[in-house]
A and B are shown apart, each in its own frame.
Chain A
């Protein structure tokens, strides 16, 4: 590699220039993702943070500038009213709790469904494993939006499921499934299942078969072996999968919007309404920032739990 650089003149000059600036290969490699995060994560975050402390206005853009210059005077006006507003109106608090609860139970459901699937794949023969993993990832090949719309077709009163049940005579009136919390759970579990299965699979496939044999040899029947050996050893996978489902599910907007009813009070929908319907950008930004803060705590709890488990 370095031999190539030495021989090609432009490369050599570039390398010399970078070296003069104190940049080495290692720094450059790190710099690319750092720059990416800086531009696409930190800068937008700062914009949102700035918006959240601005005052709303009926204007374009719909907020007052933070910094005003009047000749030699410079005024910085920070408004924390937007955050206070979140506590005044019970709607926001309710939406937060509803979102966290829904995300939590969705993650638990995904875990309960995903674990046996991941376990089965991990215990399959190697040839079969790759086929099964493909099937898990297959839904990603179609648009997520399309798949959620498809569920509408299944769940609506004259949808596939109701028509089938009416036809068999199990029910004589269509079930109300669409625009219920049930449909939201269904949508979230369906969409996020691969995010649970994959980390669990990655963990379970590493599980040393000899440990299971050792347990059986020492008198452990299959069920005690599972609870005393397999489950505790798959804890890092469980936590990773749980985080991958729980965290994005809190801010989920599309699924509750398309499948949920008016009582599905998810924070993502509230945010959308503030931003697009009310055109109250500062309040919407405050909602987003508050959600971030509310999320950081459960994430940190899960992270420390994960680290503790991994250390063992």
Chain B
């Protein structure tokens, strides 16, 4: 149905060149009648930065807590580096976790917080202090070593939490909304720092987040979760451009979704009759479907072009009136009203600082998109 994703050799999830590092097989977690995690199977490879993405209550945190050992699966099996984790307490696992609230010990200095895990393993003070100093250098907190957590800013606390969870060089680092408490600007900076640290240490990361932008920036692969289940696993571009369901298309980014019926089904194209558009959508590749089957078509706002003049093509061209424009700086989001009353959103990059010819409120425009711009969805 979708165009194939190019195969890269450094991606074990495609090549199968190495066994998975973390094996989650058929894991279910029930709280009473409620299925927090429902029959999840997932393989994660060494050195990955895997993002579990989903809304609140989708089970992503429960899955993370089962990996850390704070919850036990009702059914199923979790393996880390070939070891079955069943019956292993958190302090016996080769994992460390960075908590959403950071959970820094308020009565200890930064240095002691970071050294805590090393001391619990019986490490001598001199050796521990060396490792702590090295870790604090990595997160650029050396001058704050003797401060208490309440004397630090949010960003600094976040870095202490990261240092504390990394100092033991866990096989697997679990991060629960690691950037959630930071403001937007700091979050963007920290994202790249996090990737840099992950790459330099080679530790496998599993990040739980509800922020799809964060997942896109950080992840080698994303697992989208909904209602306790993993609905799609893939690299960020795959998830964004080739969502496998209406839920994923809708959850990641914004999207214009159309419901239609197959009116023509040929090997190299199909046509969908869409009542909302008062016309049909031409899809420039074959789709395995039958005539008159109900399908959905998802096209992202940035794939839609708007112009005053009629585009030089016949397919996927519609008339519309500009209903609303939201100026975002780098782009402008246009809300367009079709003659059927259906609203459509389209973004336009603001390529120049000032445009006399700019499309404005109430303008009659032409709307079009390429015949491979959208995703055809069966569910």
Contact = CB atoms under 8 A, between A and B. Distances in A.
B120 A213 contact: no
A213 B70 contact: yes
Contact of A210 (B69, B103, B165): B103
A233 B104 CA distance: 12
Contacts of B148: 312
B67 to A, nearest CB: 11
A204 B134 CA distance: 35
Given A219-B91, A312-B107, A214 B120 contact: no
A210 B100 CA distance: 9
Given A215-B116, A221-B91, A228-B116, A208 B103 contact: yes
State the majority secondary structure of interface residues on A: helix
A229 interface: yes
Interface in A207-230: 208, 210-211, 213-221, 224, 228-229
A237 B161 CA distance: 27
Contacts of A229: 105
B168 A312 contact: no
Nearest to B99: A210
Given A208-B101, A312-B107, A216 B168 contact: no
A44 interface: no
A43 to B, nearest CB: 43
B76 interface: no
Contact of B90 (A213, A232, A233, A312): A213
B97 A217 contact: yes
Interface string A121-163: 0000000000000000000000000000000000000000000
A210 B97 CA distance: 11
B99 A214 contact: yes
Interface string A230-247: 001100000000000000
A220 B103 contact: no
B121 A219 contact: yes
Contacts of A216: 69-70, 89-91
B212 interface: no
A218 B107 contact: no
A220 B116 contact: yes
A233 B95 CA distance: 26
Interface in B112-149: 116-117, 120-121, 148
Interface in B56-110: 68-70, 89-91, 95-97, 99, 101, 103-107
A18 B208 CA distance: 61
A224 B91 CA distance: 11
Contacts of B334: none
Nearest to A232: B107
B117 A219 contact: yes
B164 interface: yes
Interface of A: 208, 210-211, 213-221, 224, 228-229, 232-233, 312
Closest 6 CB pairs of A and B: A218-B117, A219-B120, A210-B103, A214-B103, A216-B90, A220-B120
